[in-house]
Amino acid sequence: MTDASQCVLLVDDDEAVRVVLSAQLRQAGIDSVEAASAEEALERLASGAIDVMVTDLRMPGMDGMELLQRAVRLWSDVPVIMLTAFGTVPDAVEAMKRGATDFLLKPFERTAVLGVVERALRMARRPSQPPPLPSGEGLAMVGALDHLRADILRAAQGTATVLVHGENGTGKELVARAIHDSGPRARKPFVAVNCAALPEQLIESELFGYEKGAFTGATKAKPGRVELANGGTVFLDEIGEYPIPIQVKLLRLLQRGEFERLGGTETLRADVRFIGATNKKLEQAVKQGEFREDLYFRFVIPIRVPPLRERPGDVRALVAHFTARSIEANGSRRMGVDAGAMSLLMDQPWPGNVRQLENFVERLVVFADGDSIGRSDVERELARDAARGEGAVSGALDLAGRMRDAERLAIVEALTRTGNNRAKAARLIPMSRRSLYNKLKEHGLLEWHPGQELPRSKQRPRT
């Protein structure tokens, strides 16, 4: 329930739309006032009695986009919700990038309207001064990019759904955690769901829970990750891998805040914020029919986490961070990293990004001979990586080729040890069956069986 003193401004040149919205809000105990134009809305805002504004995007004269820009500039503490038809969703997404907090699609349903408006009213009640950005493990892992930190802080203060995209190992989950920890939900749960690690038939029950008897072995009801995260944040890792039927259910949850447990008939509600992550280009997945366009448009705040090769300046800070942490974790003697070792580390492309660098530094700490990590220590570990590959590797900088060769050999070994049972091989590696299929295709091993001669390894162009 909202405060009785709060008021919503409804802006639309269509009187019927204003009347319907006003009635829906009134039934929920929410006060509202109306404006038939953007100019009238500015006058209402100037009165100082408005807590949230809902405005149409397309209006004669001053349109909703210009109204938004003026409102953000003059009344930054008033959340703005955009009304739009599906055909103008890209414009609504652009509006959110310019400061709108959410959008509603016409024709709208009462539950969707109330969910979006109530979230905005809660946001309007927050103190205007945002909390400082945390400086803990998450941001240490992300690195020192000022614009990335600024994006995290801006995203943290809103309610819109966020899409974090970048290569594997860049720290996408850590960015999601930083967004959660920097916002008003910081004291509530942060629940991560990795779709790629789950069989398709388990994704729905993991997300939404299930009722007793929903399937064989369901001896009692169990809440899903969404229920467990109520009031907090759900992190949907590898969102591009979610099957279409699950995408439909997610869309309903994002739009209305409603879902049902597997095998249940009761409609449940959850107040959660969603942050998705992917290493895929979702625009391409939409064109190929692999990802729903309407769900894609719900992930309105994009944050790109650049690969480590684009931010070599971060390597120095990350090496220092990982060295100190590895020394503590392994009970090693205190040691530094000399200039020669650091120079060589900064020269590497690190195709596995932050995750690869972290593992490499831990090895350096464990195997270092002296009181500091020297260039010879780095060269020795690079040589060990090369030795794990399938053939001779020229030069210490070809880490991408070495990792690819090692990955191919690991898959071949897993298939051999399991008698070509791909399900068991995927668990042995470990990775999802879908990811294993993609890797088999990538390495030219789809038709290969243990005992056969290995096909020639496909070479991937260097980046």
Q: Is the pLDDT of residue 370 over 80?
A: no
Q: What is the CATH number of the domain that holds 451?
A: 1.10.10
Residue 393 lies in a domain: no
| pLDDT value for 388 | 66
Query: Region 403-411: what's the mean pLDDT?
Result: 76
* pLDDT mean over 261-282: 90
Which domain CATH number covers 75? 3.40.50.2300
Over range 255-272, report the average pLDDT. 89
The answer on 74 and 184 residing in a single domain is: no
Q: How confident is the model at residue 248 (pLDDT cuts 50, 70, 90)?
A: very high
Q: What is the pLDDT of residue 408?
A: 81
Rounded to a whole number of angstroms, the distance between the first and last alpha carbons of the chain is: 54
Task: Decide which of 100 and 396 is more confident.
Answer: 100
Q: In this predicted structure, what is the pLDDT of residue 162?
A: 93
Looking up residue 145, the CATH number of its domain turns out to be: 3.40.50.300
* Per-residue confidence (pLDDT) for residue 315, from 0 to 100: 86
Q: What is the pLDDT of residue 87?
A: 60
| Mean pLDDT taken over the chain | 81
The answer to whether residue 209 sits within a structural domain is yes
Verify that 291 and 346 share a domain, yes or no. Answer: no
- What would you report as the CA-atom Rg of the chain, rounded to the nearest whole angstrom? 26
- Residue 274 is which amino acid? F
Same structural domain, 326 and 178: no
- As a whole number, mean pLDDT of residues 202-207 equals 85
**Is the pLDDT confidence value at 389 over 60?**
no
pLDDT value at 402 more than 90? no
Report, as an integer, the average pLDDT of 38-57: 89
* pLDDT score of 391: 31
Report the pLDDT value the prediction gives residue 393, as an integer from 0 to 100.
Answer: 34
pLDDT at 275: 95
| Position 287 pLDDT exceeds 50 | yes
Instruction: Please give the tally of structural domains in the chain.
Output: 4
Q: Is residue 133 part of a domain?
A: no
Share of the chain above pLDDT 90, in %: 16
| One domain for residues 166 and 292 | yes
- Please give the residue that has the higher pLDDT: either 442 or 373: 373
Tens digits of per-residue pLDDT, 62-75?
Answer: 999 999 988 888 88
Q: Is 406 left (phi over 0), alpha (psi -120 to 50) or beta?
A: alpha
**Residue 129 covered by a domain:** no
Burial 268-298 (b: 16+ CB within 10 A, else e): bebebbbbbbbbeebeebbeeebbbeebbbb
- My answer on whether 32 and 159 are in the same domain is no
pLDDT of the residue at 12 = 94
pLDDT of residue 52 exceeding 80: yes
Predicted local confidence at residue 425, as pLDDT: 85
pLDDT of residue 217: 77
Clarify whether residues 236 and 376 are in a common domain. no
Residue 242 forms part of a structural domain: yes
Q: Mean pLDDT, to the nearest integer, of 259-273? A: 90
Full domain range(s) for residue 461: 408-463
Same domain, 163 and 119: no
Contact present, 420 and 449 (Cβ < 8 Å): yes
Position 458 pLDDT exceeds 70: no
Residues 191 and 87 in one domain: no
Q: Is the pLDDT of residue 357 over 80?
A: yes
Please say which residue of 326, 354, 387 terminates a domain: 387
pTM above 0.75, yes or no: no
For residue 400, being part of any structural domain is answered with: no
Final residue in a domain of this structure, among 271, 306, 341 = 306
- What's the pLDDT tens digit per position in 111-123? 778 878 887 887 6
| Domain annotation covers residue 401 | no
Predicted local distance difference test score (pLDDT) of residue 8 = 94
423-449: average pLDDT: 82
Rounded average pLDDT over 289-308: 88
Torsion of CA 364, 367, 373, 374, to 10 degrees: -100
Average pLDDT over residues 442-461: 72
The pLDDT value given to residue 96: 72
301 phi/psi in degrees, rounded to 5:
-110, 105
Q: Is the pLDDT of residue 399 over 70?
A: no
pLDDT in tens, 87-108: 666 776 777 777 787 777 777 7
Of 288, 306, 324, which closes a domain?
306
Q: Is the pLDDT of residue 418 over 70?
A: yes
Are residues 267 and 148 part of one domain? yes
Shared-domain flag, residues 269 and 317? no
Distance between CA atoms of 79 and 94, rounded to whole angstroms? 16
The answer to whether residues 316 and 286 belong to one domain is no
Return the pLDDT at 67.
93
| pLDDT over threshold 50, residue 129 | no
Look at 136-150, 228-242, 315-329, 352-366 and tell me which has the smallest mean pLDDT: 136-150
Give pLDDT tens digits for 173-187.
888 988 888 888 888
Query: Does residue 287 sit within a domain?
Result: yes
Check residue 460 and give its pLDDT.
Answer: 46
257 plus 198 within the same structural domain: yes
